[in-house]
Structure 1
Amino acid sequence: MALWTLFGMKRGKATTAWPGPEGTDDGQDGVLGMPRYHPGLCREDCSACADACPTAAITMRAPGRNGDGTLDVDYGRCVVCQLCTEACPTGAMAPSGDWAFGVSRREDLVWARSAADLPETVRRPGFTRSLHIRHVDAGSCNGCESELQALNNPFYNLHRLGIFFTPSPRFADLLLVTGPVTNAMLEPLKATYEAMPEPRWVMAVGTCAVSGGVSGGGYASGHGLEGVLPVDVWLPGCPPNPAAIIEALLMFLKRRPQRVVGGRMSHAG
């Protein structure tokens, strides 16, 4: 018997039961997620977090605008660098473990005055069984790709959920895009989308694909997928972790609820 086989038998099953009952290991214990905004702690004369933000995910509200707090927060531009939490003197921007930020509507990544004021999220229906994905790297730094590779490791074992990657767009249901969409990748990306059979869907993975990230708008790249392809799932992060990607995919398949509305996690105040 091969040594690796004996080792595997001794260790037992490595695959997590997540997503399952509450408390099941998702592999993200102690991992920092998106900074959580506490508008009641904001000082009107303070712009420390906005000044520290490298992607303008945090900006100061225009004078006279109604709403909670003094900041506009767009999690679709956040690279989770935590600089805002380090710069904030009052705790208005605080570290959190909020990583499941997949949404079906781009506006839900933007902080709203009240989540209760937003209409119900509407999207085109996705598949409810198996899903085949074609991935296109549209100029990524490979951070998102490293997380995508982890989806097929023994812990996450993506195939157990009926989700598979395919090398051909002609067999794909979902186009998963990473990177800010560089000029060189714009036409290949569109060609891949056109090669997919109807019905077809698109998922933007990582802040670069959502809004361009740190390099968005540079001489060689655009601002992600907005205005390029119709996007059905938006998942910011730099990079989003494997559990966040799985959560967003299951949300698309209607097997998990969307947990973010108006920039707020369902359990966040």
Structure 2
Amino acid sequence: MTNPHSASPDTSDAPSLPEEAAKPFMRTIKSFVKRAGRMGSGQERAMAELGPQFLVPYQPSAINFEAVFAGAAGAEAPNDAKRPVVLEIGFGMGEATAQIALTLPGTNFLCCEVHEPGVGALLKRIGEHNIPNIRICNHDAVEVIDHMLPLASLDGVHIFFPDPWHKTKHNKRRLIQSPLVAKLAARLKPGGYLHAATDWQPYAEQILEVLSAEPKLKNRALPNHPELAGYAPKPHYRPLTKFENRGIKLGHGVWDVVFERV
């Protein structure tokens, strides 16, 4: 989804942006199409009660992970600033995100989602299951990446089941394109990973092609699973969602793609 752009402001006295931020695609990439939806009473209550602790406001400056995730190690352990940090882009209603955070309690998750009912639903899950290692930014992930995430600061990126934009004329709206992948690769630490999953084969093929073309990334699956043609076995931490499980029973495929920063 694109937004109308206002007239260009006078930038003669403005601080210069990094080179990548000045490129034209910076103004057009979007990580989402905003959907309408109403929050239920439980979601609204979670927003009010848990939002102050688990929501991270957007800011046009670098994030302090130690401050943001203070207390994420839980009451039984001191907070460790060196805990791995994984960015998740678009978590929907948060079911899989909550399960992953419980499966990987030693990892901190910064999760971006613009759909407010989904944000409320994940906050509700955080409260119900006492999940301390999630923080949520209710903002466009591209702006979060550009302005809040320092280079080489992430240990991983999760993008699960992004909108496939099935029609060929809409393929250009897909999230996983070369400009965004370049931004993400630059913000991964050496050895950090980018994990995408989709149930739409043409999109899986595009994801594999785009990630393979990024010079800062290499395919984790190729050395150990050449028989999978570049796709990866489903990592243990990614749960089967109800939708995905139903699709598998109907014979639909799911493709995982995992690359790492070289």
Shorter-chain TM-score: which interval? under 0.3
Structure number, greater radius of gyration: 1
Higher helix fraction: Structure 1 or Structure 2? Answer: 2
TM-score where L is the length of structure 1:
0.27
Tell me the TM-score normalized by structure 2: 0.27
